[in-house]
Structure 1
């Protein structure tokens, strides 16, 4: 392709559609041809047209209509009964030489509006708190436009753009790397891998990953919802979840409607067919059943209780985006935890106690110091930072020595090296890197190769990465000198350490009856080692063990469900796997929580009954979660569970208490008869689940009073008493 093709005409829209073309695996020259671009980038006119075709490089948030959101709080079974009573008070009560029952109508409508307003305001406040937490400046990137490098908002990137990626940059779009030195990319937020991966010319880098080493140019091949990031977000958007709390309220409402309907039918038949009572008397008694037969203030009371609980959780470092998640957290019995960044710190460290010493006269501290000398102090390489951080002071790495030359890491040699002069004027060279490469340098490699391999294999079985160190004297006193024989010093184990409070948090969760399962995209050995250190168990399985045995027969489905139930966790999983694991746990009757911090966790966070985005989570994870943590670690989750259970107990005390409105009505009207105590005693049986006891007592009590004693209650009085009684 001609490299001076800046501003060449675009291909047709059909040709530019990248959905059916695997641009991630095509040769680079074919990628340029398919995207109708060149290494000189796009012109502003081309970019503007492509922006219209592909859309902005961002994920558009679904905006809820505020009016419809407000009205939705009036659309549930309990509200339907209240709305039916309001219509009856205005329309059907207009008879028998009397006008509409305006008092009841206005009272019911006001109560509906108050219920909806409180729920709307509190949930809106919770959403605003989460939105302010996630708000930040739009990321910017260097892009080649009109033949010049410009810093632009990442949202205007389009397929075909040429961008620059360098140390510390967050990759703004899916892209293919052009010619240049290899990069080290941290893509833990996408795949769950704790170690940076090396990317070379032609390799694919994903939106949201971070450049840890190097600088290179790349051609954008996918943006927005077409990117790897966007596909995960689309899976989130396609997930429809009905909360456990909403299911409970729906069941209560359905029971109330059925009970009231039966009572109304019985009462109407007796009053009109048997007793021949007046039209208005019958309507008033039906209104009494409709108004008194439901826990009329329950939505308001529960909304206020949840709002208070949401405020308490925010003080503990947990921002609630969906208030009903509090009830679901209280009932959570399984917590699926992402490993990288959630249970662990998401940065490498050296386990000093496991450092293997090979050279006589050296100890572990000396080996760590030599490895630190062969590291860059001022860069963001994960391995170099892990070793430097093992020193009490990073300055020790260059203390009392004079650096002559530093050889940076490259994928061919797979090692770094430093030539330096010590305080005595002696010249040395130290190298660190892959054990096999360091071993090949040493004069006695045949004598120590077997032992070194055993150490490396032992570390690998525990999910630890090995790093070897060697040194030599340089008698030539020159950076180019061959030096003396290399001495193999030792092997250091690298791993992503657990957070300091993770093990204690998991133990406390188990004490609360919450089973913790680790779900990670990292390797199986690393997952098992992390589980061993944290106490979650080592009964881990690769995702292939779960999804490789899926079939159409019932036996295969049962085996999958049993495996998910018994496993301590799964490794090597992708976003759709996490989503499916949560679904299977929910299908088994569990109230399932999910914690995570990366884009790869977002679908499962959305699917779970309670999604928890940990501190420093990506925007995608925060957007999908129900609760966003502002404090690091999982300790706040246990506090949130305890707080949620205390809040739920208050709600339960309200909904399952003794003393329905019938007691107040009986004492107010001074109705005394022998069967009343029997009625109260019957109604205190263990059917008092949620608010059903209130409905049973009201319906049975008023039907008996109206049918046997022909007692008429003023509907407005029942409305006032019900509100006062429910609101206690």
Structure 2
């Protein structure tokens, strides 16, 4: 354009510098890095150490959390009720069962089960009193049991083992005789939320610790109670309110998982791990694909580490941002696979190495607090990104129009001053006061760039209009009585450059208050540091515009009168920024936008987050599941089609809700659940209160 305008190349180089300095968001990497670093430090203070900075962004977008039960949802402080111990061997009493279980426990470096068992003895030393330990088999996720081989006072060799009932039952020589009774006791314990621990015993007549030994004798079953954490129910409710679906992934029995889920209010729609392989499916879910089953389930019981990996893999295939908690060596693959691997407190080194976040405090509340903090951090980064895009557009477009229309070349040095003051102020956004998103958040690029381009274009037009009014008209001198800045001899732009500098500096920095807020910018209170930095930066900018007579920068002071006019001009044109922001958000929420990009974006701005579409899909799936022919949508107009399907969706939901209430949440069901929990006799109560 400069050759066409018959202008010297030197102003063109100056303008090129202006566009490079003002158009490139040089501070973006620094601002984003500082924001994440400060946020990471805040997370560590809350008990969540981030090993990878980008995990903060992924935590903000997490919509599914697969949580272990023991130690996370519960206290992992086990207690045993000796009165409920079931004995299966002749000549054995509950005290003997406890002693055998204690001998099959570690006396040092104990886990929660060992601590509970040994703690039942009058003296912990009784666990090894009168015996000589020969070999101890520690617990591992595959065998799911421990065993001790020892010599008694008479020199005879024995072996005791405790562990998962199914594993111990498989050892018993009389499995077929006692299997039904064992499962009945396990179910009775599970209905009351009690885990079962089996104990077995065998003699080793060969006298060698490596030998297989004689037949195993199933000695008894011990009930273990692991109470839920006092804050787990409230934490799960908070998670659901935040759009995070918590799924219980436990190695315990299905009945225990359901009872724990009922107590914590996280649902009882749980399945055994065999359902992941397409086995043991109820009639209600037999037609569901595995991926959809995992997505809709509230949890899975009896899982092994490989099941955790499969759950994460399939959830990710359904486009979920998945978090997974773990503590053991075998959890490492699932933690590595998850978008956010979370090593709980007291996790092994292998689990911590594979995770993205390491918790220093137990419980689920730490994770939910980290989610809120991560969303606040992400919100700050998104606010700044919209601001940076807007400023880039306003600098490039605004000064380009001034150069092309009026041959006005803004001094590069003054653009450098604007950049320094703006970037220094924006650094404080890392500690800004923000409202975290109520739902999982992500980089909505269409929204960010559309908002940035529109706001930046508006600011550029503001500058062009101001330049025109000050340079080509007498509006400001006539209305406000200030000196004229109209075109002078030899095109002296020094005072006009100062005026443009102040106008651009003020409104550019004020834009951050618009981009940081979801509602009106003057309603959401910003952080004190941001306000102080803005005031100081613009005070400096105003003093420069009023007093600076810098020949090297080609500016001249304009006085306090013009400074007041520019502040008033910016204030008047600041208020439409919020309205424009709302209009952009409204435009992006419509159906036309989704059709324009063929629904290929990774987010939705549909009304109620696409609730209507999800209901239609759900109704279609329910009709197909029950063998009903879906309606021929070609026979309907679009309006009729949506109306009919909406009605079917509502009817299907009502039927499902009635069935669910009838099956799970009737008054009788609640009463029976409480009665089982308290160990009362339901028949006695019914006779006493029958009218």
- The structure with the greater share of residues assigned to strand is 1
- The structure with the greater share of residues assigned to helix is 2
Question: TM-score, normalization: structure 1?
Answer: 0.42
